[in-house]
Amino acid sequence: MRYARGGNAEFMLNLFSEVIERLGISLLLLATPAVQPVLEGSVRNLRKLSSSGETIFKPMSQNDPQWDEFCEVYWDYSLTRNKCRLSDSIKKAWHTSSAGNTAFASLAFMLAQRNEIGGRETIDEQSFERVSATDMAFLQPAIRALSSRDPKRLRVFDDLLFSAKYRDLRKQLGANEHTANSRVNRIDEFEDCHDETVRPEQKNTSSKARAPKNRIHPEPAPDIKLPMEDPLALD
């Protein structure tokens, strides 16, 4: 959408809006901050696309509780034979190799396992250092920019930072800014729904048996034999 020429990007946004409004189909849009030039030009479409809420995955700091939880959840998916304890030094090396970005962190963990399976069969600080120096070496400028939190360095990579104009636009639409250090809200969104399961002793034991419902069975399709033609036959 970003590189669409002319009004093609606006046409796609209008198409998404029509799908949401007329067909009632929910759409899940995934994008990096590089899409903001397209969204800034249409408040109407941006409002419709964000009507069901939005989630911005910001880089997690090393002392962020979400970072600890992220590492603990991913650590359970270790497939190496020798699984060591997730120490603070490992989480620090993991954060250094990813700057707390969820995409970079998951990629670093996957590459670290791929390098260690069939070799040392363990993931430690050395595993993430090796990934940073080899597999993810081309991403190091972007990772260092994220670690610095310097807006000037982040603007070099247009898909890492939202502009001030876009942030102001979100505020006008009532979007909430979630701080990086805010804890995850673990309240069940269905807490108001009570379990209304009827227990066996509470069932209404009526003497009248329910009449069986007449089920309509579709008729089998007729067996139609199509003529076979030789594709090599000449007229």
Instruction: Break the chain into its structural domains and give their ranges.
Output: 8-56+162-172, 65-154
Model confidence, pTM: 0.56
Residue 11: DSSP 8-state: H
Task: Give residue 231's pLDDT band: very low, low, confident or very high (50, 70, 90).
Answer: low
Q: Give the tokens for residue 119.
A: 């070799």
31-40, 153-162, 190-199, 204-213: which has the highest mean pLDDT?
A: 31-40
Listed in sequence order, the DSSP H helices in 58-207 are 65-75, 88-98, 102-116, 125-133, 140-148, 151-154, 164-172
Between CA 95 and CA 129 the distance in angstroms is 11
Between CA 228 and CA 231 the distance in angstroms is 9
pLDDT of residue 24: 80
Between CA 57 and CA 173 the distance in angstroms is 19
Q: To the nearest whole percent, how much of the chain has pLDDT over 90?
A: 31
pLDDT of residue 194: 46
CB neighbour list of residue 171: distance below 8 Å, 6 or more residues apart: 177
